[in-house]
Structure 1
Amino acid sequence: MPKILITGNGFDLGFNLPTSYDDFISILSYLEAHQTFNFHEIYSNCRNFEDLENSYSDSIEFSIEEITILKEKLADNLWFQFFKNEKKIDSWIDFENRIEYLLKLLISSISKLKESIFSQSPIDKSLKIYDSKTLNNNVVALNVLDFFGIISLRSRDNYGWHLKKEFLVERYDFYIDINTDKIIEFLVSQLDDFKLIFNSYFSLFVLPLYGKSKLNIESNFFNLIHYHFTFNYTPTFEKFYSTNVKTNYLHGKINSNVNNIVLGIDDLPEKVENRDLFFPFTKYFQKLNCDTDFHFLNEIKDIETSTTLTNYVFFFWGHSLDQSDKEYINEVFDIVRDYKGRKNKIVIVYHSKSSKARLLQNLLKIRGKVDILKKMRQKKLIFCHLDSQELKTEINRDIVERITI
């Protein structure tokens, strides 16, 4: 008879924590350019600074030593340096999609260079200057290859460029190929360093806020929740609510040596060459490779072994229900379908009419019209505003099947 809470970044944002992608980039960009750091100087870079300032005390002392180390990491990391200048990214989902776009661009461009330059014969070590026609005048690809140090642009006027010897395969005083594996290793290493930056940001600028809260939180609100799964990296649920429920971190946890952070693309792209090169950047590969908690509802299904009449009520709170997490979403919907408890239900928590519409659209993309209509007609799928009495009723509802004789 479990009630299961599943939280996403919107859950943290509801407490005015600076966990959005925009906050992350804005604060780190400020650090790069300045030498003085206090509460106002740092957090005033957040979109919702006024709400944050009203929610947390400003009596936070920041470690200059740790900030200095972080700034050094920022200067050396190509992923951060690239993304800090990208203006069309509004969310972490957009960020992941942009990583996928860049990887597709880099890998396809490298494949074209291998074909056009090395398919006929090796090249000598003088490193010939090529023009943009080698990549069909794709100046975007040339600039990205140059930014990540795979080629070197000589001039942006005529886009003359040459290959970088550190990413070439050398044999008998000739270069015979581009070392794709070495390039992938380099990009993965840079992404691993970006994860360290990510961890440092949350450790320095999010975790200290928990102890400075001025929020009036109903700490026993989730006392009737049996399980908590989060796509966040933060201990918000544990810090703000007095419950013995363990948080399961699906994408890793800040400052954890055993539950490493997962950050990357959702799956291997479709209809691309060399798909295997994308594996190290996928979240599921990282979870398996780093022993991040990759179990989801298995534990619950193993424990609740009574019968298929077991009731499951799932609460999605602050989760975008985007395609990137469709495997988790499908697993929840399939349980509600397959387990015959009469009170099985999925509750989607929303904060505004526009957010409700987006959530519904995302579910329709993943599950289709027939399944969503059926579940809503059966009241097995409902939407509740986060401040509604209806949500409180669902949180506290008795879902035990009572057998009468």
Structure 2
Amino acid sequence: MNILIVGNGFDLSHYLPTKYDHFMDVMSAIEGKNTGEKVPNLTIHTVHEWMDILDEMFLKNKNSNSFKFEMSFDELFSKIRDIKFIEKAKEYYFIDKINLSAKDVLKTQYKLELNCWYQYFKNHVKEVKTWIDFEQKIEEVLIVAARCIVDIENFHIIENLYQYFVKNKKDGLKIRNRDSKILNFFNAVKIEKYETLKPRPLLKDGSGEETIVINERENINPKFCYGGKIINGFSPELFLDFLYEQLDDFIEIFNLYLELVVNKFLLNCEVEIKSPDWVCPVKIFSFNYTNTYQRLYDSVDVEYLHGSCGEHQNIVLGVSDVKDEALKKLKAYGFTKYHQKLFKDTDYLFLDHFKEKVQIHKKKIEYFEKDFGDSDPTAKKFTRQNLMEVDSKINLNISIWGYSLDISDKDYIIDLFSLNDEMDRNVRVTVYYYDPNAKFSLLNNLLAILNKDKVEKWMKNKWLQFKPNPEIKFGEIISEKTA
């Protein structure tokens, strides 16, 4: 059975702009589009309330010519850093009809401005290059949140909590400058007004009065406190719920990008995978959110391990695990991939049918050894030979294309490379790589997850091979009418 496992590199091999950089650059272009004056403070409504307001506004003015800020392909990709990539995409796809309506532009702008995760990632756009880096940045925020939660819980006098946010305090517990900068993206701190009494200068007769002075200082945001009041104490659960809701909104923004932009890329030519040893798959396990193989080649059974994009998207974007004890105590598992996969009901079962066949075969061997110990030696020999040489085979030819083999998906990788554990079950794995640097990284990742002996065994026995990516042949141009 021929199985294809695809990651983001498969889409990139077809010049589809699904890199993290591509997404962020397009969002930057949308964010910078002149759509007229917006409300100065969008936080007066939630993002969902704003969507309803904008829908109603466009409905009332559906025949108006006042909304002339739709964005063409060239505008959407005007801030792209990977210029050569986009030029190639323009060569192979019809791009004239790829545009974003004025309504979608404005709604996306509101979503971006109100999304804390986007604002945080935007501030780190130069250091976050890949989706793996993106996951590490999520983990960084969670680590900071956990550290600050522990610190805040050590303030037994709530009235003094503001002292934690005093920047120039020389002694006592205070927030780290770096942590403060990170949490500021997530509205954890808010300016608080408080009153102090200031004595007036004494008059000639010796009398004087105190006056009330209104001051400002940083303190925890009351929205993350019980009952919305600081005096009731900080609620870590409220803050983490907010972070998760914001992450879910960010995922929806990414889904819209895939749906309204990437999935609109229609080929203007014939395309074919050219490689001497390439065999068309009968099943695909996808770590992508797009249906690229089905859309460009053939209808094949696909299981989306991390969810898929679309109207009913169930995209998984998170960290591999929650490691901090404070976060475990607060059950912050909603940020993990495994929680999201279960909660969003993705096709998270990976090679289970074949793993089950291996287990059944192992039980057959146990049964054979127990029940045929005193049987005819010749019959036993042939039965065992059939059991070990024929019945043991699961006959899988697995190709991996554009998938990083990152440790965040180690459970899948361990499952895959357990299929030939005790014997050769005729499982063959080919890992395709883009260039020598990619091959180096892929091998590094495998060694980090599996032990050295296992990787050596698989490669020595030719069960595992590394090969350059198959050539994708973009052929004869087809007209837009027949596309």
TM range (shorter): 0.7 to 0.9
The question of whether the paired residues in 2 share the 8 Å contact of 1:311 and 1:339 is answered with no
How far did 1:246 drift?
0.8
- Could you tell me which of 320, 324, 345 is aligned with 1:266? 320
**2:225 match:** 168
**2:89 match:** 52
The letter for the 1-side match of 2:464 is L
**2:411 match:** 327
The letter for the 1-side match of 2:234 is I
How far did 1:321 drift?
0.8
* Aligned pairs, number: 374
CA offsets, 1:132-173, max 9 Å, x none?
Answer: 34654511111222221111268xxxx9621222212359x8
How far did 1:205 drift?
1.1
1:359 aligns with 2:442: yes
Within-5 A mapping of 1:146-225: 146-152=184-190, 161-169=218-226, 175-209=231-265, 211-214=266-269, 216-218=271-273, 224-225=280-281
Distance 1:45 1:52, change over 3 A: farther
1:369 aligns with 2:452: yes
* Counterparts of 2:164 and 2:218, CA distance in 1: 5
* Counterparts of 2:279 and 2:432, CA distance in 1: 17
**2:328 match:** 275
CA offsets, 1:15-43, max 9 Å, x none?
Answer: 11110000010100110001452112223
**2:114 match:** 76
Distance 1:145 1:351, change over 3 A: closer
Stretch deviating more after TM superposition (54-63 or 281-290)? 54-63
The question of whether the paired residues in 2 share the 8 Å contact of 1:55 and 1:214 is answered with yes
How far did 1:358 drift?
1.0
The letter for the 2-side match of 1:30 is A
Unmatched 5+ stretches in structure 2? 35-68, 193-215, 362-390, 473-483
Distance 1:175 1:213, change over 3 A: farther
**2:130 match:** 91
**1:112 match:** 151
| 3-state SS in 2 of match to 1:335 | coil
Task: Report the structure number with the largest CA radius of gyration.
Answer: 2
* Counterparts of 1:140 and 1:160, CA distance in 2: 19
The letter for the 2-side match of 1:309 is K
**2:7 match:** 8
Sequence identity of aligned pairs in percent? 32
Within-5 A mapping of 1:18-57: 18-35=17-34, 36=69, 37-46=71-80, 47=82, 48-57=85-94
Distance 1:199 1:338, change over 3 A: farther
| 3-state SS in 2 of match to 1:273 | helix
**2:141 match:** 102
| 3-state SS in 2 of match to 1:314 | strand
Stretch deviating more after TM superposition (294-303 or 329-338)? 294-303
Could you state the TM-score of these two structures normalised by the residue count of structure 2?
A: 0.71
Distance 1:43 1:303, change over 3 A: farther
Distance 1:190 1:129, change over 3 A: same
The letter for the 2-side match of 1:15 is H
How far did 1:61 drift?
4.3
How far did 1:217 drift?
2.4
- Could you tell me which of 269, 276, 289 is aligned with 1:233? 289
Distance 1:215 1:112, change over 3 A: farther
| 3-state SS in 2 of match to 1:68 | helix
The question of whether the paired residues in 1 share the 8 Å contact of 2:165 and 2:175 is answered with no
Stretch deviating more after TM superposition (378-387 or 17-26)? 378-387
**2:344 match:** 290
* Counterparts of 1:223 and 1:354, CA distance in 2: 25
* Counterparts of 1:339 and 1:4, CA distance in 2: 20
The letter for the 1-side match of 2:351 is L
The letter for the 2-side match of 1:293 is D
The question of whether the paired residues in 2 share the 8 Å contact of 1:336 and 1:345 is answered with no
The question of whether the paired residues in 2 share the 8 Å contact of 1:56 and 1:215 is answered with no
Could you state the TM-score of these two structures normalised by the residue count of structure 1?
A: 0.84
Distance 1:212 1:65, change over 3 A: farther
- Could you tell me which of 166, 185, 193 is aligned with 1:131? 166
